[in-house]
Structure 1
């Protein structure tokens, strides 16, 4: 295996092995298809049946209920997909399986029938479970002997995530809104297929890296520990090597909590959309659905607390800190993920997207630069890859070239299509690209901040992130303050939505990329799989909460106002952020020196 890793580092581009960029582009096309399709969901489901671009005309609450279950499941299946790859398939085969299943899912959705739509969502959930955890595992394996370069590798890879999201939402959204939903869903499937072929035809580059399940378990000491202190070393080795096997009670609690959570996820849209229920009973004044999800949460907390109690104090304290951060993560994503729900509805129905004269001209110039400059940079990287690898993986390079020629063609056509009219209507999906754009431009600044002497503690970063998130919604609340109760349309300035995305992205940069970093520092190697599962579960809960709360947009805006709806989303994150500030001393103590 080490020989294969050394061979990977013989051919480098920008200081990293070519294999990293194979993974970069595979991830880019997967994110292209994922975000390109996902941003269409709320618009397609709620679009009027009788219109130039008819959708299904679902109530917003129904649409967001389904999207919430879908988004939540996307963070649960990777727990299973990672386990299957570890035990049987290996990472690379799992990635290919995931790509194939997701491609079939996009094809099914492009058919726009009821049965094919649900089948497509199911296939995308299953495919993501195979793809999401295992492509990052390949990177981890590639850099086993190059730990110092791993941060840089993940930074490059993260840029691929955002580049894919950027172009996916822009191009799939453009085709769907201007030519029909089938074109948007279909384009996502085409690029998913090209991404899979590009990866499949490059398999020789990786040798045995990611080809077989790992059978070894290493005891890993944290880099930032005082290794001159024998007691610290003793505690870490003991914590890392202590198995703490799952007891029969643990396994029963896992099964019951999992079943309860899954039943709730499927029953919620079934009740709201189908008018039926898998749990047609009431208990203590609660509906069957609410009782089951509450019981599942209690059972999971019993499991988590029971397992933590069986560890030595230093490990128990650190895991308690991780659990508190996971709770903050639930709150963050419950509000942040309004971007593909209520905020997209706000862009579509309540934002003035009509531009004329000089304003339209300026927007066209800015939009053209936003689109073409990243493409030029990525195309240059592709040229460097071709020079290094065409003789080895020519067919993979051909697939990559076809994909980028397709993107260039669509980008040029889109610019051409919008350039000859004095009036311009900005696509509602265009606002979704702002998050990716702001991440790419602001990430280096935040990285410098974290490396400076002014680097805040973990709790303070969470606090800053949550407060920034709340302030973004505060901007929307102010912008929507003049919209009367019950209004279904309005013409609020685009500036409010742009500023909201800016503040939300800054909040994300304070919190989201750092969560997994702290988890890897605080959790001993033996327990990393279980705690990653807890982390994904926290995000899954946040995803479901996001769309459940977003589904209340009509009820709150009719009874009060749309400004009140966004004011709620302002006050709660800021309140939770202040709680994080108050918990800062406790969390520092629980982390035992880890920064």
Structure 2
């Protein structure tokens, strides 16, 4: 292992998994079941929120439901920051993943309770659990490789295939149960999936060797007590703020959603400021973090568009597509499986391509390609929306084509971004940097949830065309700055 490998990374020798460390199989399957639960619930969430009360839904307006969906996604990824801190400073990545899985499963079981309050209570638990699991399981994948190994991107692409295997299966099951039988039964299926994930992780921990076994930078003695006290104060302030909103009569869905969106952006600015001004990181690490700021902005812009698949595009699928096949109207949420099945097909090809190209194509260039393709998908979606003007139902193949373009963009950006994060991370912020990477998704989703409100006031074709062209322009701008960003990466490709 080279000297610049992540702290504590000591992958076990022995059998391999598709030519990679055997431990990758345990992490692959754990993440597969976690994503089954997450995407299974996500596929029906907006449809449940907007469904009439008489149909078992909550009867929330589409504009608010889209904002709730975007903010929920943002909170899932925002909590990756404290989740990474807990792993780095308190209990290590391995135990963080275990306890995160347990809390996620509990949240889905709460959502399965057939009452209105259960959905928001369950979502809160899922947010907390995912914050513990999501960044730390990715950190453990990074621990299996040398920091600048060409095999690293390939390993993350295989891991990414596991994510999408769970995401493919989930909507087919939860969508049918939720839309055709009972919404809460669909949420219950997601709970069972996460339970499988926890059991598999416990059974396969012997494969992990030392990966994630210890905190990277543990807090001890008085420092530990001081940090826990501050965390307790922060939680207390948050609860007090919620109480004030409640007593003042301002505790509404829209108010909470808007405040959380602002909080996400403020946390991002504060966190980057903290890392860049930390005197304990080296000049080289600080230079690489400056490069990472650019990658972060590109990623946030990507997810702003991409994650509207579960909100604006999901509602389009329900209301404006012809889903009748042989007399059977398939659930709108089934179209949420198109994206992951295409990634399952494309991920091995992407893994082979990045391994074949090695360092000849830089990380910033891959990000630029992702942005351009993502923008073109919304340009195509504008044509689909125009074809649906007047109430006509359009072919679901429009959405299939949109998702296919987005998948090509995702495979250029997302697994590569995971790998780049572990390579550019200052040693002190190993797990927390994975939290920062997921914060890019949080920022994109938080802003995207607010942007999605415009889909109700603008014509849909104008909405899709505007944001599609904006993404294309940003991608072309990224190409122009590729050389400067590569210089800031200080030898990391």
Using structure 1 for the length normalisation, give the TM-score. Answer: 0.69
Residue 177 of structure 1 is matched in structure 2 by: 179
What CA distance in whole angstroms lies between the structure 2 residues aligned with 1:14 and 1:302?
40
RMSD: 3.8
Residue 304 of structure 2 is matched in structure 1 by: 334
Residue 41 of structure 1 is matched in structure 2 by: 45
Residue 347 of structure 1 is matched in structure 2 by: 317
Residue 501 of structure 1 is matched in structure 2 by: 403
1:430 counterpart = 2:334: yes
Matched residue SS, 1:112: coil
Residue 567 of structure 1 is matched in structure 2 by: 465
Q: How many residues align?
A: 466
Residue 583 of structure 1 is matched in structure 2 by: 481
How has the CA–CA distance of structure 1 residues 552 and 441 changed in structure 2, closer, same or farther, with 3 Å as cutoff? same
Residue 46 of structure 1: how far off its partner (Å): 0.6
Residues 213-224 of structure 1 aligned to structure 2 (within 5 Å): 213-214=215-216
Residue 499 of structure 1: how far off its partner (Å): 0.7
Matched residue SS, 1:435: helix
Residue 460 of structure 1 is matched in structure 2 by: 365
1:539 is aligned, of 441, 445, 449, to 441
What CA distance in whole angstroms lies between the structure 2 residues aligned with 1:81 and 1:6?
22
What CA distance in whole angstroms lies between the structure 1 residues aligned with 2:361 and 2:49?
42
Alpha carbons 1:434, 1:498 under 8 Å: kept: yes
Residue 341 of structure 1: how far off its partner (Å): 1.0
Alpha carbons 1:107, 1:189 under 8 Å: kept: yes
What CA distance in whole angstroms lies between the structure 2 residues aligned with 1:8 and 1:454?
27
Residue 55 of structure 1 is matched in structure 2 by: 57
Residue 132 of structure 2 is matched in structure 1 by: 130
Residue 288 of structure 1: how far off its partner (Å): 8.9
Residue 461 of structure 1: how far off its partner (Å): 2.2
How has the CA–CA distance of structure 1 residues 329 and 304 changed in structure 2, closer, same or farther, with 3 Å as cutoff? same
Using structure 2 for the length normalisation, give the TM-score. Answer: 0.82
How has the CA–CA distance of structure 1 residues 215 and 297 changed in structure 2, closer, same or farther, with 3 Å as cutoff? closer
Residue 274 of structure 1 is matched in structure 2 by: 252
Residues 128-167 of structure 1 aligned to structure 2 (within 5 Å): 128-141=130-143, 151-167=153-169
How has the CA–CA distance of structure 1 residues 35 and 175 changed in structure 2, closer, same or farther, with 3 Å as cutoff? same
Residue 144 of structure 1: how far off its partner (Å): 7.1
What CA distance in whole angstroms lies between the structure 2 residues aligned with 1:569 and 1:448?
32
Residue 235 of structure 1 is matched in structure 2 by: none
What CA distance in whole angstroms lies between the structure 2 residues aligned with 1:145 and 1:586?
22
What CA distance in whole angstroms lies between the structure 1 residues aligned with 2:266 and 2:405?
36
Matched residue SS, 2:77: coil
Matched residue SS, 2:328: strand
2:380 is aligned, of 460, 463, 475, to 475
Residue 319 of structure 1 is matched in structure 2 by: 289
Alpha carbons 1:62, 1:273 under 8 Å: kept: no
What CA distance in whole angstroms lies between the structure 1 residues aligned with 2:217 and 2:262?
41
What CA distance in whole angstroms lies between the structure 2 residues aligned with 1:172 and 1:290?
28
How has the CA–CA distance of structure 1 residues 445 and 48 changed in structure 2, closer, same or farther, with 3 Å as cutoff? same
Residue 318 of structure 1: how far off its partner (Å): 2.9
Give CA-to-partner distance per residue, 1:356-401, whole Å, 9 cap, x none.
Answer: xxxxxxxxxxxxxxxxxxxxxxxxxxxxxxxxxxxxxxxxxxxxxx
Residue 419 of structure 2 is matched in structure 1 by: 517
Greater shift in the superposed pair: 207-216 or 505-514: 207-216
Alpha carbons 1:65, 1:272 under 8 Å: kept: no
Greater shift in the superposed pair: 497-506 or 197-206: 197-206
Residue 8 of structure 1: how far off its partner (Å): 4.8
Residues 191-206 of structure 1 aligned to structure 2 (within 5 Å): 191-206=193-208
Alpha carbons 1:9, 1:16 under 8 Å: kept: no
Give CA-to-partner distance per residue, 1:186-225, whole Å, 9 cap, x none.
Answer: 1111121122123224445556654443469xxxxxxxxx
What CA distance in whole angstroms lies between the structure 1 residues aligned with 2:91 and 2:294?
34
Residue 30 of structure 1: how far off its partner (Å): 1.2
What CA distance in whole angstroms lies between the structure 2 residues aligned with 1:145 and 1:555?
47
How has the CA–CA distance of structure 1 residues 37 and 148 changed in structure 2, closer, same or farther, with 3 Å as cutoff? same
Gaps of 5+ in 1: 217-251, 280-286, 356-421
Residue 85 of structure 1: how far off its partner (Å): 2.6
Gaps of 5+ in 2: 1-7, 219-229
1:32 counterpart = 2:10: no
Alpha carbons 1:62, 1:272 under 8 Å: kept: no
What CA distance in whole angstroms lies between the structure 2 residues aligned with 1:454 and 1:7?
24
Residue 437 of structure 1: how far off its partner (Å): 1.3
How has the CA–CA distance of structure 1 residues 93 and 565 changed in structure 2, closer, same or farther, with 3 Å as cutoff? same
How has the CA–CA distance of structure 1 residues 20 and 170 changed in structure 2, closer, same or farther, with 3 Å as cutoff? same
What CA distance in whole angstroms lies between the structure 1 residues aligned with 2:299 and 2:40?
25
How has the CA–CA distance of structure 1 residues 149 and 171 changed in structure 2, closer, same or farther, with 3 Å as cutoff? same
Residue 545 of structure 1: how far off its partner (Å): 1.3
How has the CA–CA distance of structure 1 residues 153 and 514 changed in structure 2, closer, same or farther, with 3 Å as cutoff? closer
Residue 349 of structure 2 is matched in structure 1 by: 445
What CA distance in whole angstroms lies between the structure 1 residues aligned with 2:468 and 2:327?
34
Give CA-to-partner distance per residue, 1:124-153, whole Å, 9 cap, x none.
Answer: 011112211233344444557997865554
Residue 15 of structure 1: how far off its partner (Å): 4.3
Structure of larger gyration radius: 1
Residues 91-130 of structure 1 aligned to structure 2 (within 5 Å): 91-130=93-132
Give CA-to-partner distance per residue, 1:501-539, whole Å, 9 cap, x none.
Answer: 011111111111112333333444345455444433222
